[in-house]
Chain A
């Protein structure tokens, strides 16, 4: 029997009761799957906790679903809209572009520009051949004719390339010249490299065309019996301002284009001016054709726009400043942003769903291992009634979605201090490119992945998953430990997601008394940050349940919130570093990177900010002297002794993984109090990179006093208040000892106080201290 695998995703991540949600499911080796709507309560199977807990919910969609194999298009490319077939040029033609190939030596054919059908060998194309040379070819079905340049392309250098075909004399010519300057490429002038090549050859015939072949930039049309048409021979690298003529341009004419002049209008069929359509608020997926027929091209799998172009000279650092220098569109043959599967089932959710984390549980074949899938989504209330809300950090789920660190990153074992523990699903994801990548991975050419979307199966946004490199739950399954605690304590709470906060701003949380964050809300958009700040300033009470939060500036599209963008740069604990000149978010035009570097350090908002991380042990907190002050001592009601959080599902302690610290120099409110702090962290805990100006020995856990988690509390205007836990492992410490541990008691005291209307406890103990003690 074939190995049964089932994977799926939902079109929406945040819904309300009664909404319709579409499920897209792929099944290998099975035609049926059993579906069951479940509410997720606890997701960590660690023996010290309550284990995996779900609640089956009645739903019209429960029962057998017909499922089938679905195919995923990998690779980013542009497809020109050409209903009149103007690009189906049968006579003389000229193709040209500026290109920055990043993996010409991959040993694969990569298409740059062309109307090429690679299964029927019909059409024309300019591309890179498996030897790494630029090549132009035409086909008529039974035969293909090629002309290639003399020398291979050098990776990561800008070239001007062109090919012409003269129908009258049956001759094809290919041109390649370097347009490198001091800034725009990998190698400098000191390399004795002659990049130029011009080759001409007689062709035996002219190209023919098929009506259904599209004109593609960075790919060509392929076909498979079961799958139908798709795109293959995709490209890795950048393309800038390509164009097509239906006549032969001689080298003198081409050289003027290479020099930066506008292409001549005579016989121009298309000229995709990649620098058009840039706004102060970002760039869309449509590449405009400035030629006579407006054959605009649509991006698939998010080609990265607004990247440095062939003429970028280092003076400007953003496409907003000099759009004409930012014509680069970057393609990757392993990019996969949206799986675009057919809808398997459209489900009308019950009208009386309690707000929470839900999943459609799908079981096929044996119903375990890869035969079981949880398609997770979040249900908000129809009308907000509760005083308490839990905010699922879905932006951060996206950032980590399908991360490959254990397999690809050599640094991960020294970082986490342990060999990875791989589950079946991790290995499946590593084997199969169709799952796409996370913002912790690099594309095949080594450039960092800046987009992540939830329109694809997310293997780590599901219960029971443990992040392989660390051997603990991370993000969503870890956040379920907080949900389980809320359930256990019987609080009346509702949930919402980052997406709601981004879309609705303050309105999404305005009516709640208290909002609790997830355990690791690391990725935050400006709108989310503004809403959180306004909420607290407006009298809201906020519990920051994790560590290393509010760290990266990210962006969501105006109309499509399913895809998130981030650029990692300059400093910060980062899996990759954006190239020079590419530090701005193409989605919004904002500079990405750390919020701290943009003037909004998390300390300013929550009193604490990231200080260090380590992954093999956790530590408890010990009460700090400030916690005995009567403004805050109410938090310790029912707690004996000074130690807090001596157990936990993440390495047996409440202070662990990533730690946040109180720091006045980054804007911790001057009246904030340190309630408790951890200490005695092992040397696997290292100071975060943005804190290091010069590295020197002794920046590890056992020798640097700054490496610690601080629980910080401060009051905000209008009876608002913030409690920050200071560590990711804090949330995972809640479920131990059947929720009867002192972290649970502490958090209970805080939540009870935060949801109570009126003044905060201890609010009146603010007079100046008497000098008796």
Chain B
């Protein structure tokens, strides 16, 4: 070092002031600005084309909002906001599901009008089966998805109810319209019985138990003469479909009856899942029960309640099943029925009504429509299910969220490869920054640091150690001014342990109400040592950035 700095205050006889200090060669702070002529990172174009129309706000006009009577739920959840790029007030439909449901149900209601004549029978029958299975799966979804009880006894409840009502109808001539209600009562009883172990068992063990129950029903019915062990089931119950009608009318009636049944199941699903009890249960998913309980949620009660209600629904469907098919076969208890049902839920996605319905539609389509393909179609269902389980987290209807999460992951990966720590903002970062001033601050800060790093030398550190306060040489003064102007978050400060005896370095939070955090255990014996400790940490941070 050939340079030296002469203290302008030396002649004033300032205490501890030295006349002259060795210092580094002068480096112009403008040099880094002259040198930097482009960004280190490639500046990619950003911005997305608006290729669709977005409604503007209502402005001066009165907006009459509609609600689902008698709730306070608005028909569409619409978010009004100012477009940050244009400040235009715009509306976004946050949840478009009501629209999709309406369109979907409308399509189902109108479908029979457009079915080709040669496929009419197959399709209407398949449609009716779809309605029943969708209804069953919706109730099941309440148990698995909402209540989080892994019960595989759903078809057992439906079956018991179907066998019970079929038996009663055959033996006592009970008319078809009584069957669903008797079925509902049978469902209530079986629900209560199966619910009891659910209070003690969970997860895998409960699934096993209910599977066993299912098997028990099958074996019992198969071996019981009462339930028609010889005929493969009970047949001859009363039906709502008049035998006198022609085939097409019968199919049409069956189709719409099952459609109505599905709508009833949807209503039940909405009533349970969309209201307070559903919220309570969603707060207490499996493995987080303790937390829910600690916050005062009585999830056990809610689970049993949902279970019993769904069982009543399943019993009702069982009664309808009998009235629809004029009886019931053992196959309802069979293991492949359970598995097929499970496939429907898994493909659609657990915990969503649309998952249950669309999953059912896909499986029924494959199973019933492609019946000509033979056992290959079952293989196909298996492959789809495997694919869903392997690649999708939440079934088909989780694809959107999963895709977004994946895109975000990719985005942050890309950004981390392009962005330099403490470097200038990338165009994509600025689009997410409200205050564009920060983008300049980042540039300025980077220039400052690039320049100041060149000043750090042992002479400077020695000078600071000698006198942390007071007049400093030009390079040290520049460094200190930069350090002192840092933003408040994570800015170093000193905490008193004992006045004039012990100090410790802390970092400020930058938020009123949040205490500073201790950054190291070291205790400094004097204020000056603590000042120098802070300085060294700041120098280290600067060199590391």
Contacts and interface: CB of A to CB of B under 8 A. Distances in A.
Given A418-B468, A430-B512, A433-B512, A196 B67 contact: no
B76 to A, nearest CB: 13
B488 A422 contact: no
B488 A421 contact: no
A223 interface: no
A200 B64 contact: yes
Contact of B515 (A147, A334, A419, A431): A431
B200 interface: no
B80 A150 contact: yes
Contacts of B513: 430-433
Interface in B444-497: 468-471, 477, 480-481, 483-488, 491-496
A682 B476 CA distance: 14
A407 B89 contact: no
B499 A152 contact: no
B500 A46 contact: yes
Contact of A196 (B59, B70, B82, B484): B59
A419 B494 contact: yes
A334 B15 CA distance: 45
Nearest to B469: A616
A413 B492 CA distance: 10
Contact of A682 (B56, B65, B470): B470
B22 to A, nearest CB: 20
Contacts of B516: 422, 427
B512 A421 contact: no
A47 B57 contact: no
Interface residues of B, number: 62
Contacts of A408: 488, 512
Residue of B91, B481, B512, B527 ringed by the most chain A CB atoms within 10 A: B512
Contacts of A422: 493-496, 506, 516
A251 B484 CA distance: 55
Contact of B9 (A423, A424, A680): A680
B285 to A, nearest CB: 25
Interface stretch (A186-194, A256-264, A340-348, A394-402): A186-194
B494 A152 contact: no
A420 interface: yes
B50 interface: no
Given A47-B500, A150-B80, A652 B15 contact: yes
A192 B527 contact: no
B245 interface: no
Interface in B217-232: none
A404 B512 contact: yes
A616 B56 CA distance: 58
A157 B516 CA distance: 35
Interface size bucket, A side? 35 or more
Interface in B63-84: 63-65, 67, 70, 72, 74, 80-82
A232 interface: no
A192 B65 contact: no
B481 A414 contact: yes
A151 B81 contact: yes
A413 B87 contact: no
A45 B14 contact: no
Interface string A25-48: 000000000000000000001110
A476 to B, nearest CB: 17
A79 B456 CA distance: 60
Interface in A174-213: 191-194, 196-202, 204
Interface in B489-529: 491-496, 499-500, 503, 506, 508, 512-516, 527
Contacts of B61: 198
A410 interface: yes
Nearest to A47: B500
B63 A198 contact: yes
B512 A419 contact: no
Nearest to B71: A204
Interface in A677-726: 679-684, 702-703
A420 B86 contact: no
A143 B486 CA distance: 49
A151 B57 contact: yes
Contacts of B469: 417-418, 616-617, 651
B81 A617 contact: no
Interface in A548-573: none
B57 A413 contact: no
A646 B15 CA distance: 9
A197 B58 CA distance: 7
A194 B89 contact: yes
Nearest to B78: A150
A680 B12 contact: yes
A571 B289 CA distance: 61
B13 interface: yes
A198 B9 contact: no
Contacts of A681: 9
A73 interface: no
Contact of A45 (B58, B65, B500): B500
Contacts of A45: 499-500
B503 A198 contact: no
B488 A419 contact: no
Nearest to A52: B499
B60 A702 contact: no
B460 to A, nearest CB: 16
A145 interface: yes
A421 B485 contact: no
B491 to A, nearest CB: 7
Nearest to B80: A150
Residue of B65, B469, B492 ringed by the most chain A CB atoms within 10 A: B469
A199 B63 contact: yes
Nearest to A173: B62
Contacts of A702: 8-9, 471
A682 B9 contact: yes
A682 B471 contact: yes
Nearest to B492: A419
A679 B12 contact: yes
Interface string A642-681: 0000100001110000000000000000000000000111
A591 B269 CA distance: 67
Contacts of B503: 421
A133 B78 CA distance: 13
Contacts of A121: none
A51 to B, nearest CB: 10
A619 B14 contact: yes
B155 interface: no
A200 B514 contact: no
B534 interface: yes
A413 B484 contact: yes
B527 A407 contact: no
B255 interface: no
A576 interface: no
A246 interface: no
A406 interface: yes
A207 to B, nearest CB: 14
Nearest to B533: A419
Interface string B172-194: 00000000000000000000000
Contacts of B15: 646, 652-653
A196 B62 CA distance: 10
Interface of B: 8-9, 11-15, 56-65, 67, 70, 72, 74, 80-82, 86-89, 91, 468-471, 477, 480-481, 483-488, 491-496, 499-500, 503, 506, 508, 512-516, 527, 530-531, 534
14 contacts: A47-B500, A145-B72, A151-B82, A152-B81, A194-B57, A200-B65, A201-B74, A334-B512, A413-B485, A414-B481, A471-B527, A617-B14, A680-B14, A681-B9
For the complex of A and B, the 6 pairs showing the least CB-CB separation, nearest first, are A680-B12, A413-B484, A150-B80, A616-B469, A682-B471, A414-B484
Given A646-B15, A702-B471, 17 more contacts: A45-B500, A149-B80, A152-B81, A154-B82, A191-B87, A194-B57, A198-B60, A200-B63, A407-B508, A408-B488, A417-B484, A616-B469, A617-B469, A652-B15, A680-B13, A682-B471, A683-B477
